[in-house]
Amino acid sequence: MILLFPYSTDSPVYHLPFATGGIIAVNVVVFFATTFQMMVGNVGVESLEPLLLQFDTINPLQWISNAFMHAGLMHLLGNMFFLWAFGLVIEGKIGSLPFLVMYFFIAAVDGAAVQLPMFLLGSEGAALGASGVIFALMVVAMLWAPENEMDCFYIFFIRIGTFEARIVALGIAYLMMQVAFLFLVGFSMSSEMLHMVGALIGLPVGLAMLRMDWVDCEGWDAISRNKWLQDIDWLCSPTQRQRMQQKKSSHEDPVRAALALAGAPNAVNPAAAAGTLSHRKPAPQPVAKSGPAKSDTAKSSPAKSKSRSGKSPFFGGKRRAEPDTSAAPPPLHPDFNRLSFLLRQAIQSKAPAAAQQPFVRLEQLGQADRLADETLLNYVQLLASRKLWNESIRPLMILSGRGGDHANRARLRLAQIQWRIKNDRPAAVAMLQGIRPTSDPPTATDQKFLQQRDEMLRRLT
């Protein structure tokens, strides 16, 4: 016996999955009110037939009703696990109401795409289950979050365990299984054919919503991550292509781009390295309201926050130099606590792709400067462990503007990136010259940083 159930994801959940949970609840209620009653002998099978997708008639109501009917308990449980996992990814990005509209639209199109051809062919029989809609959602998740991971629970005969798989890899594996079964049993109407019909419906839905900018995947969708797809006009609009090109240009010199965010767009100099980072105006796009979460706001004293371990089962020395407070920080955004919590989760789970998404969103909201030193340091270490040097520049710049030991450590790392990765010796020298003792006389930590600074300067000059 081999069973596999996805149950969670490291994809950021910006909207709580109320609609996904509600649809699952309706499916459970309908099962116990219909199929279960038939199984215990309270009702006859003929009383349930009007709710199934009958092939000998055309009934638009059945296009929806059949998606809430299931043949047995395992059929229900399997579908609901998959619905929960992929609903987290999709509803987490677009919100409850758009997800509901999307779900019922796919269900209706899927029901029509099966019933109409079967009626025209004069076939008999019926179909039921949410798997067609779920396969559509799976394909949408593959398009919107291909590099995020899905946590899966498996039962392999007597062995039980969990594993992680990228959403795109998990989706491809299931699609290949359906195609293999179709070749074995013939391309007739079967569960595998119903699944493939759903997948073929999900493909244009997911692509259309990306092209029309109805979903913000923060540059992690399949189109944004593959240059050759961006060259196809019907997949990527000219406006999107221009926006992606601008993003690419801003990353060609990430050190300069990071310093530009810090208020020094034209030069790399010690003053910019040692100065306070300016706060950007929050992005205008709407975001979800969030509930209370553990605060991660950076204060003048060392941060006390601790990372929480694991992924969400429901949805990745005293500082001596005080920062300059001449520029008032923006007000705390209502989504800050949840985004910082997602960031800490991803860091603890060692998932850099999942960590970058909430950090980028915090950047868009002008709230990344509020992250605690500990969180930023852990984030930088995670990125460095995967050699994501360019991505580590922005959090390092935030740390470099705060003063104290963390600032000197950040400037050393920035100088190394400028020297070793960007091959920009003058910029590395300028960054090193911004390293100063944090007290008089210098502490042991100061002396260590000064020694490292002087050693690098001797090798650079």
Pick from 78, 84, 66: nearest CA to 11: 84
Q: Please state the pTM of the whole predicted model.
A: 0.65
Specify which residues 155 forms β-bridges with: 3, 160
Query: Which class for 237: exposed (0-12), middle (13-18), buried (19 or more C-beta within 10 A)?
Result: middle
With tokens 């059945």, the residue in question is: 62
C-alpha to C-alpha distances, 67 to 46, 61, 120, nearest whole angstrom = 18, 11, 21
Q: What is the CATH number of domain 2-221?
A: 1.20.1540.10
Report the phi/psi class of residue 3: left, alpha or beta, with left for phi > 0 and alpha for psi in -120 to 50.
beta
Backbone angles phi, psi at 32, to 5 degrees: -75, -20
Q: What are the pLDDT tens digits along the chain (461 aa)?
A: 578 889 888 888 888 899 999 999 999 999 999 999 999 999 988 899 999 999 999 999 999 999 999 999 999 999 999 999 999 999 999 999 999 999 999 999 999 999 999 999 988 899 999 999 999 999 999 999 998 889 998 888 888 999 989 999 999 999 999 999 998 878 788 899 999 999 999 999 999 999 999 998 888 899 988 888 988 888 988 888 887 776 665 544 555 554 444 433 333 333 333 333 333 333 333 333 333 344 465 543 333 333 333 344 344 333 333 344 445 667 888 889 888 988 998 898 888 888 888 898 898 888 998 999 899 999 999 998 888 888 888 999 998 888 767 888 888 889 888 888 777 888 888 888 888 888 888 888 888 888 888 888 888 87
How far, in Å, CA of 315 to CA of 342, rounded? 10
How far, in Å, CA of 29 to CA of 269, rounded? 65
Furthest C-alpha separation in the chain: 92
pLDDT of residue 458: 86
Q: Helix, strand, or coil here: 221?
A: coil
With tokens 């992606």, the residue in question is: 244
How far, in Å, CA of 190 to CA of 229, rounded? 33
Q: How far apart are the first and last CA of the chain?
A: 67
pLDDT of residue 306: 32
Pairing mode, if any, of strands 2-9 and 149-156?
antiparallel
With tokens 């796919």, the residue in question is: 106
Report the phi/psi class of residue 218: left, alpha or beta, with left for phi > 0 and alpha for psi in -120 to 50.
left
Q: What is the dihedral of CA 287, 291, 292, 293, to 10 degrees?
A: -70
Give the DSSP H or E segment for 9.
strand 2-9
Domain-wise residue ranges, the chain: 2-221, 253-460
Amino acid 375 reads T
